[in-house]
Amino acid sequence: MIVVVGSYNVDFLIKVRDFPSEGETVFSDGVYIDHGGKGSNQAVSASRLGGNVRLISAVGNDEFGKRAIKFWEDERLDVAYVKIKNALTGSAYIVFDRRGRNFIVVNRGANALLSEDDLDGCLNGDILLTQLEVNENVVKKALKEFPGVKVLNPAPAVLNDNSLLEYVDILTPNEIEFKELTGTQDLNYGIDLLLKKVKRAVIVTLGERGAYIGTRERRILIPTLAVDAIDTTGAGDVFNASLAVYLEKGYSLERAVRISNIISAYSTTRIGALGPRLSEVSELIEKE
């Protein structure tokens, strides 16, 4: 069982030709409403790859919360521990222009109300996958008490209490998060710093260059597939989801990363943050 502790947001994607200036009003070229939030994205992507996934997340007592739970049930997640809070469901307002630049405002809503008590009774399983879009004390408690392998995707890379890293087996920052956490772009130096706390490995995802694995014994760059990427949003979420699925299957870290590179590269050839179903990628990963 993979247990995901994380966020849910309704994403409002608002397309404009040009951003309005201060005080100006513009008409949009379209609004799209989608499911988002790193916790939900990673949980659903893991389930699509065949993982057995329990999601621990909070939604509001509104229509968006009901819609989210229905979505997760359709995606075959265990939603028994999803909490309904007396608040609005979390939401993200993503305004993007014709050049693809964006502004994002997030209302944390119910995500901010997920509490340590909400974890009671549900911290059992093989792999914990969590991020930093819910309260840090909740993430810390989950990492501290979960009995299996613990993966932290440190996104966004805002950490008030670094001691939380002592409970992490595998840390998976992207390049930006890596720089924010370590203050350096030097992979080996930064990984040395992180491994003072992180127990087993740091995996830095490097976009089209693949992923770099750092343990106390070795460092290795695993290249990814060369693809015609059309939408890299959520590539990291798919990578983390896949990593959890293949670690749960008992694959070595290196093999799990090789497969996760392929699956997340494939996901960039499609629009949307959610990953592919196993049937779409089974041929691609057959030889790995």
Interface contacts to ligand ADP, rule CB under 6 A:
174, 205-208, 210-211, 224-225, 227, 229, 232, 235-236, 239, 261, 264-265, 268
* Shortest Å, Cβ 81 to ligand ADP: 26
**CB closer to ligand ADP, 132 vs 235:** 235
Residue 249 is labelled as binding a ligand: no
* Shortest Å, Cβ 124 to ligand ADP: 28
Residue 282 is labelled as binding a ligand: no
> Which SS3 state, helix, strand or coil, does residue 27 take?
coil
Residue 207 is labelled as binding a ligand: yes
- Whether 237 sits among the annotated catalytic residues: the reply is yes
Residue 29 is labelled as binding a ligand: no
Handedness of CA 225, 229, 231, 232 (dihedral sign): positive
Peptide bond into 223 cis (omega under 30): no
Alpha helices, DSSP H only, in the chain? 38-48, 63-74, 136-145, 175-182, 187-194, 235-248, 253-267, 278-285
Residue nearest to ligand ADP (CB): 236
Q: What gap in Å lies between CA 46 and CA 53, rounded to an integer?
A: 7
Phi, psi dihedrals of residue 3, rounded to the nearest 5°? -110, 125
Residue 39 is labelled as binding a ligand: yes
**CB closer to ligand ADP, 206 vs 274:** 206
Q: What is the separation, in whole angstroms, between the first and last Cα of the chain? A: 23
Q: What secondary structure does DSSP assign to 88-129, as a single string?
A: PPPEEEEEE-TTS-EEEEEE-GGGGG--GGGGTTT--SSEEE
Residue 270 is labelled as binding a ligand: yes
Residues 78, 118, 169, 237: which is the catalytic one? Answer: 237
Q: What gap in Å lies between CA 40 and CA 77, rounded to an integer?
A: 10
* Shortest Å, Cβ 240 to ligand ADP: 8
Q: What are the residues whose beta carbons fall under 8 Å from the beta carbon of 228, sequence distance 6 or more?
A: 269
Q: What gap in Å lies between CA 135 and CA 116, rounded to an integer?
A: 9
Q: What gap in Å lies between CA 60 and CA 52, rounded to an integer?
A: 25
* Shortest Å, Cβ 79 to ligand ADP: 25
Residue 50 is labelled as binding a ligand: no
**CB closer to ligand ADP, 211 vs 245:** 211
* Shortest Å, Cβ 125 to ligand ADP: 24
Q: What gap in Å lies between CA 140 and CA 127, rounded to an integer?
A: 15
Q: What gap in Å lies between CA 201 and CA 197, rounded to an integer?
A: 10
**CB closer to ligand ADP, 90 vs 210:** 210
**CB closer to ligand ADP, 114 vs 265:** 265
Annotated binding site for K(+): 231, 233, 267, 270, 272
Which residues are documented as binding site?
9-11, 37-41, 133, 174, 205-210, 231, 233, 236-237, 261, 267, 270, 272
Q: Which residues carry a binding-site annotation for ATP? A: 174, 205-210, 236-237, 261
Q: What positions carry a catalytic annotation?
A: 237
